[in-house]
Structure 1
Amino acid sequence: MKQYGNVYLIAAISIIGGGLFGFDISSMSAIIAGPGYRCYFNQGDKPCVGPTSSTQGGIVASMAAGSWLASLCSGFVSDSFGRKKAIMLGAIIWIIGCIIVSASQNIAMLIVGRIINGMCVGICSAQVPVYISELAPPTKRGRLVGAQQWAITWGIMIMFYISYGCSFMDGPAAFRVPWALQMIPAIILLFGMMFLPESPRWLASKDRWEECERVLVLVHGHGDPDSPWVAREFREIKEWLEIERQSKQISYLTLFTPRYINRTHIGLFTQIWSQLTGMNVMMYYITYVFTMAGLTGNTLLVSSSIQYVINVVMTVPALIWIDRVGRRPTLLVGSTLMATWLFANAGVLAKYGVRVPGGVNGIPEAQIRVTGAASKAVIACSYLFVASFAPTWGPVSWIYPPELFPNQLRGKAVAFTTSGNWAFNFALGYFVPPAFENITWRTYIIFGVFCVAMTIHVFFMFPETAGKPLEQVTHMFEDPNGIKHIGTPAWKTKNYYSTSARMEKGEGLEKQLPDDRDESPVRHEHVNAEKAV
């Protein structure tokens, strides 16, 4: 079967796996406020009030539970059968889950279907970034991996408008039709992946060197077997793979050895912090927030959808500039801005909000009502929050972890770090509805404090990885012979985008890419010690 090596085409097809997550997010946020859903899955004493807040939290969180388990298992699947086949397996699982969800007869069946859907999302969210990272050139890696977040935002927006259109249907069709339509992108993903190459680094790990070289020629050499960039890339993969194989057998426990524990902690917290930004509040439960702001009916749904458009549009700057700007500045600016909007929302709701026993419009999660200028302020801060998350933590949380780990460990490492995302996604999905019901505006304070904490953490602990080949990133954490060292402090690491860009064009290929450690006193002491020995 003919394979295509254009990196943009590869990314465009594979990131549909991320789009499936987006489809799920907005299908719930648009549907849970509709009468079709609330009447069919009613648990209250009154008709058509929907599930209880704790049950609704469990329904939303069930997908994340499946994602957590599958993301951990995806490392074994990906390492054994390949990145490409792991993603295709995820597409098949999604189709099965959609059939069950759309045919749900009760809450239990709905939860089972969402768990199965979550298994697909867990596999794809962990392995799509790995797959793209291992195929993309250094100067485009951030843009291409970050496109997964863009696909998520497109999935959110498209599915929201589909769900909004279906909300005018009578009865269960209002939620069955949009949930069934979620199968279409998974079918496209399944068949589209058949025309894409396997990861060259995975092929190398299985000693399939001829296939590895063919993929490099197809993707990076544009069909030219004599491309100097291909020769350099192939040589570096081979050299580092030989070094990695001198280590002990790779398992999840390897992530916690002294050699890798720092990278594991950074990758894991990248995913955890992305959840603790509070984006869950804005995505899953935005209809609750805007209900408190006094919006109802179609006005509520249309106003909620604006944030999804903002999410799509504001992710574009990250895709254009993320490799030039770097990972660290992007994360620091994003968390600072998000903290600002969260504290502002908390202040407005605390100062001008009026407690409504039983909830606004009978929705128990909307315990506070604000009107007038305060209502507009809540809506504005919500939009600004999304505009701050979209070009920063949204894409970088997928870009950063795959860059931290060596080839043989990357599949399992990213699976583990992504499982942290889903563990907290599950916890927050379950936590937010009761939090809105019981502590109301203080929910925003909690997430605001998290944003301040992550700003401090990133500044002191997260090194810059932009512009470096994947093998070169390892230099920041260890020597080629595997000896652990301290390295340059995170805030002194640099972005080598311009140097890599010249090398990809064939300029200066005889030179070694600059190393952050070269200017580090610790580095010189280590080298001198080696010479003394």
Structure 2
Amino acid sequence: MLRKTPTGTWLPAWVPESTIITAYLLLFCSVVQSTTGGYDGSMLNGLNILPVYTDYFKLNAATTGLNTGSVFIGGFFGPIFSGVIADRLGRRPAILWGCIVTIVGIILQTAAQDIAMFVVARIILGFGSQVSGIAAAVYLSETFPSRWRAWGVGLLNDFYYVGALIAAGITLGTGQWNSTWAWRAPSLFQAIFSILCIVILPFIPESPRWLVHEGYYEYARTAVAQTNANGNVSDPVVVTIYKEIIDTLEWEKKEGITMSPLEIVKTPAARKRLLIGMSPGPFSCVAGNIIASYYLGDELDTAGITSPNDQLKANVVLNVWCLACSLFGTHLAAKWGRKPTALLSEVLLVICLFVIGGLSKIYADNPAGASKSLVYGDVAVMFLFQGFYSIAWTPLLYLYPPEVMNYSIRANGVAFSSFMLNALACVLVFVMPIGLTNIGWKMYMINGGWDIIIVVLIAVYWVETKGKTLEEIDAIFEGEKHSSVPDVEHVRLGKATVDVAVIEQELQHETGLDIVNEREDKKFE
């Protein structure tokens, strides 16, 4: 049963009464968002292997990097605007407009007649996907209950590999075509994921944190009830969550904290949140996976796998493996914690990079005399590397930043994290094919050195956010929780109780609304 629900924006919503169904719809929104990026990376991976694509654009090492990396130019500019858009328009409208811009870029990319048109299209595509992706990360982190947040937001990037797998399969099939549709068809299919996201948006509620900040208190309470207690606004868990949000955002306003982008560096606590929260972007970018994400063909060449068809098949297998590892990593992040999961993944990456570099050097020194066991061993460790990368960085890339940042800097802070990722990726995606051509196996050693530094930074500076609501994480950075209610999970598990009647009175005083009398009228307006 769908109920028309106020959203505080021009974009209406008809939300299911069942919390479980609403959670699945939120998951679906998360899933289709992430497939666009995964599809793009795997599609370009496949296209860079296809002669019909490289010959059409007459690509060399530099123009291959430009064609591939131009999406990160758009990704570089997207975060500059995405935080402001999400704060001003609302989380759901920001996702919608981002998807529309992405579709426009995909259409232009499919119709590209030369390198210039292809590059411009990918810049537009990158811009749109960043706006929608950042808004989705903020929206899902603010809307999912804390007990499901690791999975709900982790899947936002996990299904990168589902998109990658679909693209790998499509390019494997169209790769046999002797026409430009061998690369145009995979490009056009990329739009389906943004379309699916647009279809699902009218059936999920607006972020309750955004609604409270904009003064739509009862709408926010309804959203909390829909995502936690089948619409029951008097449920103790709902009341506790709602009171936490009201108290915390009221504290931020009293402290003079604004929604300005400059707020991310205004205070020591904000700077600490920013540095820790934005670190997954650059950390994941320099970890070394860009080689296999966009230049698997070149990587396999260094290991002796040179057949285009064999490389396309390897691309399919790789994405199945990475999807499994990312789901396992999401499980670890939910049960074990964000920080331990990141440390485990990063240590394994260091080991793999040095092994890959060593084996690739042996092959490069004597390609003709290289044994099959050496070649297969090198490829196996490459696959292990991508899987180990996926354990932590795939789910944490969008899960960890919005958890660490408080409401006033969340959208702009997550945007800054993506900005840094895309700034580095824009450079590295362009440089990687040149580096692999000129120094080969040494690129792996360079990445291994970077990753050792990352291990130290995570161990020293990261904080653990598992099991806490976004408001409860404040105590880690400010030294105190800004609400008098018990922690939500304690209430949910029966370890603490709340007096709903007393909290109702406090809420009435804080919001200026007669909640008791108006609740039923506004429950599902």
TM bracket (short chain)? 0.7 to 0.9
Deviation per CA, 1:194-253: give whole Å up to 9, x if none.
211110000111001111011111111212122101000111111111111122433222
Pairwise mapping of residues 215-294 of structure 1 onto structure 2 (< 5 A)? 215-246=223-254, 247-257=256-266, 258-294=268-304
CA distance in 1, matches of 2:241, 2:288: 40
Q: Which residue of 1 aligns with 2:359?
A: 348
SS in structure 1 at match of 2:304: coil
Separation (CA, whole Å) in 1 of partners of 2:171 and 2:145: 38
Moved more, 122-131 or 60-69: 122-131
When normalised by structure 2's length, the TM-score is: 0.87
1:503 aligned to 2:491? yes
Task: State whether structure 2 residue 74 is matched by structure 1 residue 66.
Answer: yes
For residue 197 of structure 1, give the secondary structure of its aligned residue in structure 2: coil
- 1:477 Cα deviation after fit: 0.7
Matched residue, 2:10:
none
Q: 1:448/1:386 Cα in 2 relative to 1: closer, same or farther (>3 Å)?
A: same
Which residue is 2:512 aligned to? Answer: none
1:317 aligns with one of 322, 328, 333: 328
1:3 aligns to what SS in structure 2?
Answer: strand
Distance 1:370 1:457, change over 3 A: farther
- Is residue 2:38 matched to residue 1:28? no
Please name the residue that 1:386 is paired with: 386
In 2, distance between residues paired with 1:373 and 1:423? 38
Instruction: Calculate the aligned-residue CA RMSD, in Å.
Output: 1.9
Identify unmatched segments of 5+ residues in structure 2. 1-12, 500-525
Q: Corresponding residue for 1:441?
A: 441
Q: In the alignment, which residue of structure 2 is the partner of 1:3?
A: 15
CA contact (8 A) 1:330 1:393 kept: no
In structure 1, how many angstroms separate the alpha carbons of the residues matched to 2:498 and 2:334?
23
Could you list the per-position Cα deviations for residues 269-292 of structure 1 after superposition, in whole angstroms to 9, with x for gaps in the alignment? Answer: 221001111111111111111123
The answer to whether the Cα contact below 8 Å between 1:277 and 1:447 also exists between their aligned partners in 2 is yes
Once the two structures are TM-superposed, the CA of residue 143 in structure 1 deviates from its matched residue by 1.4
- Helix, strand or coil for the counterpart of 2:159? helix
Other-structure match for 1:457: 457
Amino acid in the other structure paired with 1:111: V
Instruction: Say how many residue pairs are matched.
Output: 476
Write out per-residue CA displacement over residues 111-148 of structure 1, whole angstroms, 9 at most, x where no aligned residue: 00100110122112312111111011222211111101
Q: Deviations over 1:152-199 (max 9, x none)?
A: 111111111111111111121100111011111111111111211110
Corresponding residue for residue 110 of structure 2: 102
Q: Is the 8 A contact 2:237 2:488 kept in 1?
A: no
CA distance in 1, matches of 2:308, 2:248: 59
TM-score normalized by structure 1? 0.86
What is the rounded CA distance, in whole Å, between the counterparts of 2:313 and 2:334 in structure 1?
34
1:297 to 301, 308, 325: 308
Q: Percent identity?
A: 27
User: Per the alignment, in what secondary structure is the counterpart of residue 278 of structure 1?
Assistant: coil
Distance 1:411 1:462 in 2: 20
Gap change, CA 1:286 and 1:146, over 3 Å in 2: same
- Of 333, 339, 356 in structure 1, the residue corresponding to residue 344 of structure 2 is 333
- The 1-side partners of 2:333 and 2:258 are apart by 35
For residue 500 of structure 1, report the CA deviation from its aligned partner: 5.7
What's the offset of the Cα at 1:503?
Answer: 3.0
Given that residues 264 and 413 in structure 2 are in contact (C-alpha distance below 8 angstroms), is that contact kept between their aligned partners in structure 1? yes
